[in-house]
A = this chain, B = another copy of it.
């Protein structure tokens, strides 16, 4: 289900973590010697568990290094229960801080929550700014008022709004919305965008921005 990296010098704990998470269907990579961690392959994991007090290397330092390389959740699992250590750890870019001895259920629940969130954020947003989508009915609403869009217009809006902020070229939009084998002219997208903008202009709303030379993006 998820590829998880566990770094801890305590092999007993490592094995336990591996067993628990393995049962939940995750693929767990266990590392007992953090000094041998290959950082150039670190971005293959979906979630990383880190101990703090380890021989040879400081978990905090390691966290900083890893955070500079990846965006995935990093969770400290540690015997250091002081609040200051937690604050420090989270400030370094970690996402959670679990104190040993931890409850098995808590560990599973927290990891589950982090993975779920990752999915959630990656996935669709139904409501973006003044816009709201009803995916099953293929409807778009502005301020709770329904807008009549054609299918192509709707798909473009949904795609851009779901990935709002990000810029997409006309080719990318064509591909994502109408499939990779589509051979339409780029101007098709230009025209659709124009029509969408015309319809939204009735609401004084102009969420699709042109990024010159690159493409379009949905912004608030």
Contacts and interface: CB of A to CB of B under 8 A. Distances in A.
Interface residues on chain A, size class: 35 or more
A70 B112 CA distance: 18
A125 B121 CA distance: 14
A12 to B, nearest CB: 21
A69 B122 contact: no
Contacts of A71: 120-121, 124-125
Given A43-B127, A112-B90, A83 B106 contact: yes
Copies in the complex: 2
22 contacts: A69-B127, A70-B127, A71-B120, A71-B121, A71-B125, A83-B103, A83-B106, A86-B105, A87-B105, A87-B108, A90-B110, A91-B112, A96-B96, A96-B113, A121-B121, A123-B165, A136-B166, A136-B167, A138-B214, A150-B212, A151-B212, A152-B213
Interface of A: 43, 69-71, 73, 83-84, 86-87, 90-91, 93-96, 103, 105-106, 108-110, 112-114, 116-118, 120-125, 127, 136-138, 150-152, 165-167, 211-214, 217
